[in-house]
Amino acid sequence: MDEVHTSDPGSSSSTRRLPIKNKKFYDTAFKLRVIEYAEKHNNREAGRNFNVGESSVRDWRRQKSKLGSLTSKSQRLPGGGRKPHAEDMEEVLAAWIEQQRGRHLRVTRTAIQRNAVELYDGNGEFTASRGWLEKFLKRNSFSLRRRTTVSQRLPQDQIPNVALLLHSSCEEDENEYGNMDETPLWLDMPVDITVSRIGERSVSVCTTGHDKGRFTIILAAMADGRKLKPFVVFKGVRPISALSKISWVVVKYSRNGWMNEELTVKWVDSVWGRLSFSRRLLVWDAYRYKYFFKLIHF
């Protein structure tokens, strides 16, 4: 409330409070109802009926086509409201973000603030505060997103060369193409979400106690759809007798449960196999242990 001080003959001073006029905001659904009523009657009647100014009704009727394309809860047309403090700088900054994301590079909030300060050439001090950053992201339809793909892509000019290599390597039998890769798995993968009573202070989920125990599995398949034996690596040096009886999987052990040079040689020997009556092509990723010298002479 605003305070207005006045003086009168009967007292040294008196304070009179004036009410603050609050600005009203109307969503798109309300504006469209007002427009529909005004079209059936007139702008003045619509203003009286919905308790809004006649000038607002006229403005909304002129913007009817634009309002129809917004959601029912929107309160402002694109480009409306107060303009940014440094509009030119923000356009350049938004273009830089688009350029970085076009190259699948990571863009952080700190990097945006740092670049904003460097690009700003206006009058006065500009600190690229957290509040400014939040508004800038909202104005330009940016937000923090969780990664959905690693985006490792082969350069376009290399695709014909790779296709030629694949064709020339196994032109006798293209079904002899093989692809392998390994991935870590956990012995127990508890989910953090469960149905529980509203208001419970503690929500517990039981586990087997092995949620930190992990192992590595190597899977491989051929171009004709054949699946090779799974190759599983557990942590430890002492074999588990029950697992050695399973014929459709190869079980090995290492001190940390990861693949290494020695186990890669064993995978080639026991799963991929050395004996073949035709040329074969094996595709794997670029971890350094896979370039072990022993494999070159297989």
- Residue ranges of alpha helices (H) inside 10-53 are 28-40, 43-50
Which pLDDT score, from 0 to 100, does residue 6 have? 47
- pLDDT class for 230, splitting at 50, 70, 90? very high
Q: What is the pLDDT of residue 1?
A: 45
Instruction: Domain ranges for the chain, please list them.
Output: 18-80, 87-139, 172-189+209-296
Per-residue confidence (pLDDT) for residue 22, from 0 to 100: 62
**Does position 76 have pLDDT exceeding 60, yes or no?**
no
The fold adopted by the segment(s) 87-139 is: Arc Repressor Mutant, subunit A (1.10.10)
16-25 contact pairs (CB < 8 A, 24+): 25/75
Query: What average pLDDT does range 4-28 have in this prediction?
Result: 57
Output the pLDDT for position 59.
83
| Mean pLDDT for all residues in the chain | 76
Q: In the numeric block, which tokens belong to residue 221?
A: 């398949």
pLDDT tens-digit series, residues 240-264: 888 888 888 999 999 888 888 888 8
Residue 25 has pLDDT above 60, yes or no: yes
52 half-sphere exposure, CB direction, 13 A CA radius: 21
C-alpha dist (Å) from residue 23 to 20, 32, 34: 9, 20, 18
CA 110, distance to chain mean position in Å, is 17
Q: What is the pLDDT of residue 210?
A: 78
Q: ∠179-181-182 over CA atoms, to 5°?
A: 160
Q: What is the CATH number of domain 18-80?
A: 1.10.10.60
Question: What does the block give as tokens for 292?
Answer: 């072990």
The residue that leads in pLDDT, 94 or 2, is: 94
Which alpha helices (H) appear in 74-170, and where do they start and end?
87-102, 109-119, 130-139, 159-169
User: Mean of the pLDDT values across residues 91-112?
Assistant: 86
Helix (H, G, I), strand (E, B) or coil at 58: helix
pTM value is 0.44
Instruction: Sort strands 11-18 and 177-186 into parallel, antiparallel or unpaired.
Output: unpaired
DSSP 186: E
| Helices within the chain (DSSP H only) | 28-40, 43-50, 54-62, 64-67, 87-102, 109-119, 130-139, 159-169, 241-244, 261-267, 293-296
Which pLDDT value is given to residue 256? 86
Q: In what order do the strands lie in the sheet with 250-254?
A: 250-254, 231-235, 214-222, 177-186, 281-283
User: Range with the lowest mean pLDDT among 4-18, 50-64, 92-106, 118-132?
Assistant: 4-18
**Rounded Cα–Cα distance for residues 53 and 47 (Å):** 5
Residue 8 or 249, more confident: 249
- pLDDT digit string (tens) for 154-199? 566 666 776 666 666 555 566 677 888 888 888 887 767 665 566 7
Matching fold, domains 18-80 and 87-139: yes
CA–chain centroid gap for 164, Å, is 36
Measured in degrees and rounded to the nearest 5, phi and psi for residue 51 equal: 60, 50
Report the alpha-carbon distance of residue 205 to residue 192 in Å, rounded. 8
The pLDDT, as a whole number, for residue 251 is 92
